[in-house]
């Protein structure tokens, strides 16, 4: 996440942190920041952030956050490639 978004997220103001992250113009950087934010927000919100990260940047960017949030999905994904 960007320094400002990280600081805002640390205060618990996830709405503002998300606004900051969504203002990032570089798609890969924004995807990284969304994935980072997904790791700290509540479960009702983190899946949407991960999904958005997948649509923006390289598909590999949100994998680590997804593994932390939903390990079953990552396992299913990995099983498809065996």
Residue 59 to residue 20: CA distance in whole angstroms: 22
pLDDT tens digit string along 28-69? 999 999 999 998 898 889 999 999 999 998 999 999 999 988
Residue 17 to residue 81: CA distance in whole angstroms: 35
Cβ of 61: how many Cβ atoms within 10 Å? Answer: 23
Q: What is the pLDDT of residue 44?
A: 85
Domain ranges of the chain: 3-80
* Alpha helices (H) along the chain: 3-10, 14-22, 27-38, 43-56, 63-69, 71-80
Q: What is the pLDDT of residue 80?
A: 82
The pTM of this model reads 0.84
Answer for the pair 24, 56: CB distance below 8 angstroms, yes or no: no
């Amino acid at each position: 996440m960007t320094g400002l978004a990280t600081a805002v997220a640390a205060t618990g103001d996830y709405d503002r942190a998300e606004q900051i992250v969504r203002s990032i113009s570089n798609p890969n950087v924004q995807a990284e920041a969304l994935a980072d934010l997904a790791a700290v927000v509540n479960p009702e919100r983190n899946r949407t952030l991960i999904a958005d990260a997948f649509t923006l940047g390289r598909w590999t960017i949100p994998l680590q956050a997804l593994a932390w949030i939903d390990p079953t999905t990552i396992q299913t994904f990995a099983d498809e490639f065996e």
